[in-house]
Structure 1
């Protein structure tokens, strides 16, 4: 009888603890950073897309396991949160969905930064440059057919008009412009390897040192390379009225779409660094560009990933330091 009484008290205490947990106020997130992959550990080894963010903001943060997400979410005491969402449109968007529906978080006033590495066409960018997106475009939504099934010389991929809103997200231009203004003069790292590599390209933009810019980010589930597919990517942007593409990546439009469907589309930013060109130089084939000879590498991954963090952190620090001004939307200058 005494044992039953003890068990009854324990049950009441357990129910009380669960109720208290369920009644706890959700954590207010001010800025959420979503990267796509990490290399090894979250800190202390070779940095992937997330490590600098983790070390800069989240190493002492609280960790939350989220059902359905690829990795945990970390939230620090200042309201900065982040996670590794997974590579490709499917994994990244499903992770973002799982995180957004978790009742432990309050994303009602959150600014979202989708970040990571990417490629760039040599006419528009250079190795280790960093670009804020003004448009997010899906490269894959179109019509495709085999060689020999259309007239010779006709394209094998077509994007027909009528689905622009499905393929394209125009980000909040006021927010994008403010992020650019806050970060455009950020000192960026470079490497001797990248400096030498750029000399292989005749384009003036490709030969530039790293810089901060704005342009369209095109997402594809394939790692497309070469001048032909680069023209095709721009054709997709032209059909969708989405400006000039400067970044090739794999997740942006998918993650951006999820965030938009949850009602936060006016607070989405995409920040990518170009760690390679999306095509070879005039003296190499596309396959030679994909499988380069020893020593013929861009050398921009480590510097680019660091540059993306340094640029993005300036925006994050501004928002956190002046939250009362940013909470209700992009403030006046």
Structure 2
């Protein structure tokens, strides 16, 4: 706030009408002190950032149509200052009053890694005290929760770095043809996972627990549509519950996998990489990329790795209900996730509780991480 009070007398407040992704909306002009700074070059007056909202994709326009992960944050958080970000997938949006910055990385680990590193190295922003909130939709394991539920990750596990043999050629005693590097097969769980290899990231335990405890009692809305979908999972008690907030690990992989056998693999994979401490709950694509970049940025003081939170909301189940084959269910879900609307709404509801707490008590959280 002090930065903008100092510069307000010089640059004033300017609101312009602009077009973004084909939609007309009010957009706040970038202050001249920032617009004079070129992406990738030194900037004498970087924008202070308290919270970075990390969305992974948007469906169509940034506002005014079916909401993806970014739209509700942009509309409801007043992210009206558009900042060009040519070195990445999507322009950035900022609220100068709250100092919240919103980014869209693009789908997949490659884009999320590049986008996070590009932002972290962009000298137009002061991110040294920023909290990072990764908020995205996901597949969710019906053993653990229902669609619409929101899971805070304690660990994020990579599902791409691996050995693989076609399942039609695996030994008869192997459950999967996909197994961790450094092991002798999927049955070899005796090795000690190496956290330095990029396959597993542990989130700051105290920060994650703080966020979970702050939000665990939020009552999330239910709907007839998601109730009808979860009712099909007759053998899965947690899948039949209305949406709720829980803790559970996120598995990031570039392949959109699906099915009962793949869900069994995901549970085994997460157990191995977390040494039995983690529980697979959500599947997505980007989070290990975000954490890889933030880990490196922390090394040069451009970001604080201990100020990262990851939450994922179930937009679809990771496997079909009893009596439906995996291929049929996957292809049907690709036409529209049953829990998409609930997932993006609940992401905002739960995530906003954390953002509001940080902003309302910044005097407490600026210097000391919960």
Using the size of structure 1 for normalisation, the TM-score is: 0.89
Please give the alpha-carbon distance, in whole angstroms, between the structure 1 residues aligned to 2:355 and 2:344: 16
Corresponding residue number in structure 2 for 1:268? 308
Corresponding residue number in structure 1 for 2:73? 53
SS of residue paired to 2:123: coil
Corresponding residue number in structure 1 for 2:58? 38
Q: Does residue 252 of structure 2 align to residue 223 of structure 1?
A: no
Corresponding residue number in structure 2 for 1:75? 94
Question: Which moved further from structure 2: 20-29 or 301-310?
Answer: 20-29
Runs of 4+ in 1 over 4 A off after TM superposition: 20-23
Relative to 1, partners in 2 of residues 1:298 and 1:85: Cα closer, same or farther, differing over 3 Å? closer
Count of residue pairs the alignment pairs up: 313
> Mind listing any 5+ residue stretches in structure 2 that lack a counterpart?
1-32, 184-190, 299-303
The equivalent position to 1:203 in structure 2, one of 206, 212, 236, is 236
Larger-Rg structure: 1
Asked if the contact 1:123–1:206 (Cα under 8 Å) also holds between the matched residues in 2, the reply is yes
Please give the alpha-carbon distance, in whole angstroms, between the structure 2 residues aligned to 1:192 and 1:297: 16
Please give the alpha-carbon distance, in whole angstroms, between the structure 2 residues aligned to 1:38 and 1:72: 12
Asked if the contact 1:67–1:98 (Cα under 8 Å) also holds between the matched residues in 2, the reply is no
> Mind listing any 5+ residue stretches in structure 1 that lack a counterpart?
1-16
Please give the alpha-carbon distance, in whole angstroms, between the structure 2 residues aligned to 1:44 and 1:182: 31
Please give the alpha-carbon distance, in whole angstroms, between the structure 1 residues aligned to 2:83 and 2:323: 50
Corresponding residue number in structure 2 for 1:189? 221
Please give the alpha-carbon distance, in whole angstroms, between the structure 2 residues aligned to 1:189 and 1:300: 12
Structural mapping, 1:1-333, within 5 Å: 24-60=44-80, 62-77=81-96, 78-147=98-167, 149-154=169-174, 155-159=176-180, 160=183, 161=191, 162-165=193-196, 166-201=198-233, 202-240=235-273, 241=275, 242-263=277-298, 264-292=304-332, 299-331=338-370
Using the size of structure 2 for normalisation, the TM-score is: 0.80
Larger % of helix: which? Answer: 1
Please give the alpha-carbon distance, in whole angstroms, between the structure 1 residues aligned to 2:288 and 2:322: 31
* CA distances 1:106-142 after superposition (whole Å, capped 9, x unpaired): 1100100111110111101111001111100001111
Please give the alpha-carbon distance, in whole angstroms, between the structure 2 residues aligned to 1:91 and 1:148: 32
Asked if the contact 1:35–1:50 (Cα under 8 Å) also holds between the matched residues in 2, the reply is yes
* CA distances 1:31-69 after superposition (whole Å, capped 9, x unpaired): 001111112211111100100000111343x22112321
Please give the alpha-carbon distance, in whole angstroms, between the structure 1 residues aligned to 2:333 and 2:213: 39
* Superposition RMSD in Å: 2.2
